[in-house]
Amino acid sequence: MKTKKERLIGPGLLAALLLPLVLVGLFYLVIQKQAWISGWVFGVMAPLEQALGRFWSLLPFSVAEVLTALFLAGSVAWIIWTAVDGIRRRSGRQTLRRVLALASAWLWLWCGLCWLWDGAYYADTFAQRAGLETSTYSVDELASVTTYFARQAAALSDQVARDGEGHFSEDLADCFEAGPEAYENLSREFPCLDITAVRAKPLMCSRLQSILGFTGVYFPFTGEANVNVDAPACLVPATIAHEMAHQRMVASELEANFVGIAACVTSDNVVFQYSGYLMGLIQLCNALYPVDAQAWQTIVQECFTTELAADWNDNNAYWAALESPVEEAAEQAYDSFLKGNGQELGMRSYGACVDLLVAYFAPQAE
């Protein structure tokens, strides 16, 4: 009697493998038309993720962090179980099916990331939506804006809480609570940033984020802005604003850095103002120092207060202590991800926000 031959891949598994590939292929067709992908991002993706962000804001912890941990742990457990069971049963077919099942889960993750975040890299940029234009500027203009930021940061440096040794000691819980208000003034100037704001969330595994070289992450599947609270506290308010920029569909790190800084310095909260000027000063220093080291040294000598110098040195010492091959590998991976989504400068796009800072703040620096 003939027995029915068992299929290696059933229709359900085949569909689970092929459908995400088809959707990813469709995604790469749609992004060729900026109008089409902009319609998706601002008409569907943004409202969906902002609704998810409001829903998950009911929970005080980062749902993104929990889901990420469960997915990674589940993947590892699945691989171990598949390997052990395959050795025990010596069933190549069953092992292959389980490997393909796990592959389908990762393919769906890739598909979801494409349609729920990567599309924002190809949609209308913040500068296009806000009508902001950048132009070529001189070293003197860059130095002028850098001096302005240094003076503003110095003037505010003694208006934030500090411990007995002069280190920044504001309560970060208060910063997270005040985060949604940081965009009120900037949203009036740029209505494209106006959404129903929700607070960002601190990451439980912040130290791991630091080891990998990241200060925060936006998670499109829950609409949450997540912040590394192990990093120097003086820059956490600015990081909160940066990650909340991503909630407003400011995708590129270039623009999110600028938007976060601009939101901070235009807010009514002194702590956010100081943190924003400090963050901007770091970006401007990174651009000015290589082209005119003497101008930077003059700014430090003339503008830095004891308090500002303490925060500057604390930040440098923190990241210097964490430099490792792990951080370098993580940065290279993220750099490749950014370049793969049309961000030609990759990780250097953080420094490129200087173009927008100079264009926007030059009139105030005169």
Mean pLDDT by 10 residues, the chain (366 residues): 60 92 96 95 97 96 97 96 82 83 96 96 93 87 96 97 95 96 96 95 94 92 97 97 97 92 97 98 92 95 96 95 62 50 44 85 85
Q: Please report the pLDDT score of residue 89 as a whole number.
A: 75
Q: Please report the pLDDT score of residue 72 as a whole number.
A: 96
Q: Please report the pLDDT score of residue 347 as a whole number.
A: 41
Which residue shows structure tokens 């609570």? 177
Q: Please report the pLDDT score of residue 339 as a whole number.
A: 52
Q: Does residue 201 contact residue 176 with C-beta atoms inside 8 Å?
A: yes
Q: Does residue 200 contact residue 179 with C-beta atoms inside 8 Å?
A: yes
Q: Please report the pLDDT score of residue 5 as a whole number.
A: 53
Q: Please report the pLDDT score of residue 35 as a whole number.
A: 95
181: DSSP letter: G
Q: Please report the pLDDT score of residue 136 as a whole number.
A: 84
Q: Please report the pLDDT score of residue 8 as a whole number.
A: 66
Q: Please report the pLDDT score of residue 348 as a whole number.
A: 45
Q: Please report the pLDDT score of residue 325 as a whole number.
A: 62
Q: Please report the pLDDT score of residue 109 as a whole number.
A: 97
Q: Please report the pLDDT score of residue 74 as a whole number.
A: 97
Q: Please report the pLDDT score of residue 329 as a whole number.
A: 52
For 168, other C-beta atoms within 10 Å of its C-beta total: 23
Q: Please report the pLDDT score of residue 260 as a whole number.
A: 97
Q: Does residue 338 contact residue 331 with C-beta atoms inside 8 Å?
A: no
Residue of 251, 204, 249 lying closest to 230 (CA atoms): 204
